Amino acid sequence: MSISKNITTLIKDIPDYVQLVAVSKTKSNEEIMQAYHAGQRIFGENKIQDMTRKHEELPKDIQWHMIGHVQSNKVKYMASYVRLIHGIDSLKLLKEINKQAQKNNRIIDCLLQIHIAEEESKFGLSVDECQQAIERAKDLPHIQIKGLMGMATFTENQNQIAKEFEGLKNLYDQLIKQNIPLEILSMGMSGDYHIAFQKGSNMIRVGSKIFGPRNS
């Protein structure tokens, strides 16, 4: 299968309202351009340095999403162009993004990463920390909290994955009921995006299913 066919197949497989982030981490410009020529414009990277290089080298109508863990001291390298930051997991990071966005005269869209997996290893805020971050973000005029992001446990157990996604969707709905204007629920990857959109995801982050396996 080719990258462009994979994209076309995937698009047919997901509902219209679900946005596809093509996760291009470790992939070459040539591979990304194959997806681009198939119509894909949203790409996700997990290293700021790689994303910035690709942003400089590739067409300017690509929207770059930072999906990885972000170190505060590197925010400045992407603040001028990043379209959406998925992995916000601290207030400190929010403040730094606000500061760098201000320098660039922009408002940067952010998602709060919520810890939904069983594994300790995964990053993310607890429900309480999420509520706090939303409160504090009201004083940060150069960021906009657009929604939530989560990663399920890496497991074969579909029920567990479904439960974790359901938990995140419930939190998302609760916040909307509290008049917090969220619009993006980023959950689902190559192995679990079907479960994710059944559970209410409207943004999936898919890498290997488009570009094939990664070596690193």
Report the interface residues with ligand PLP, using CB under 6 A: 23, 25, 46, 67-68, 151, 189-191, 205-209
Find the shortest distance in angstroms from Cβ 193 to ligand PLP. 8
Nearer residue to ligand PLP within complex by CB, 198 or 208: 208
Nearer residue to ligand PLP within complex by CB, 122 or 163: 122
Find the shortest distance in angstroms from Cβ 1 to ligand PLP. 15
Nearer residue to ligand PLP within complex by CB, 25 or 115: 25
Find the shortest distance in angstroms from Cβ 29 to ligand PLP. 18
Enumerate the β-bridge partners of residue 44: 23, 65
Taking CA atoms, 127 is separated from 37, 90, 145, 176, in Å, by: 40, 13, 15, 14
Q: Which residue is nearest to ligand PLP (CB)?
A: 207
Residue with tokens 């969707």: 169
CA distance 53 to 125: 29
CA distance 157 to 111: 26
Instruction: For residue 106, give the DSSP letter.
Output: -
CA distance 56 to 1: 29
Nearer residue to ligand PLP within complex by CB, 55 or 140: 55
Find the shortest distance in angstroms from Cβ 191 to ligand PLP. 6
